[in-house]
Amino acid sequence: MEELLKLVKKVAEEAEVFAVSRSETDAVFETNRLKQVVTRETSGRALRLIKGGRIGFSASNKVDGTKELVAMALEMAPFGAEAKFQFPELESYSKVDVYDPKVEKVTEEQMVELGQSLIDKVRAHTPELVCQGGVSKNTISVEITNSRGGRATYKKSVFSLSVEGVLIRGTDMLFVGDSESSCRPISDHKTVSHNTLEQLERAKETAPSLEGKLPVIFTPLGVASTLLMPIAMAVNGKTVLQGASPLGHRKGEQVFDKRLSIRDDPMIEYRPGSRFCDDEGVPSQRTPLIAKGMVANFLYDLQTAALAGTKSTGSGSRSLASLPSPSLSAIVIEEGDTSFEDMLADIKDGLVVEELMGASMGNVLGGDFSGNVLLGYRVNNGKLVGRVKDTMVTGNIYEALKEVKAVGNKARWVGGVVLTPHICCPSLAVSTKK
pLDDT at residue 34 is higher than 90: yes
330: how many CB neighbours lie within 10 A of its CB?
Answer: 22
Which of 145, 153, 330, 135 is closest to 232 using CA atoms? Answer: 330
Burial of 253 (0-12, 13-18, 19+ CB in 10 A): exposed
pLDDT digits (tens, 9 = 90+) for 64-77: 778 899 999 999 99
User: Percentage of the chain with pLDDT > 90?
Assistant: 88
For strand 418-420 and strand 331-333, is the pairing parallel, antiparallel, or unpaired? parallel
Say how far apart CA 45 and CA 64 lie, in whole Å.
10
Average pLDDT of the residues of the chain: 95
212: how many CB neighbours lie within 10 A of its CB?
Answer: 11
Q: What is the pLDDT of residue 434?
A: 64
**Average confidence (pLDDT) over 50-73:** 91
pTM given for the model: 0.94
pLDDT digits (tens, 9 = 90+) for 168-187: 988 889 999 999 999 999 99
Burial of 210 (0-12, 13-18, 19+ CB in 10 A): middle
**Average confidence (pLDDT) over 352-360:** 83
| Ordered structural domains, the chain, with CATH | 2-199 (3.30.2290.10), 205-434 (no CATH)
Containing H/E element for 377?
Answer: strand 368-380
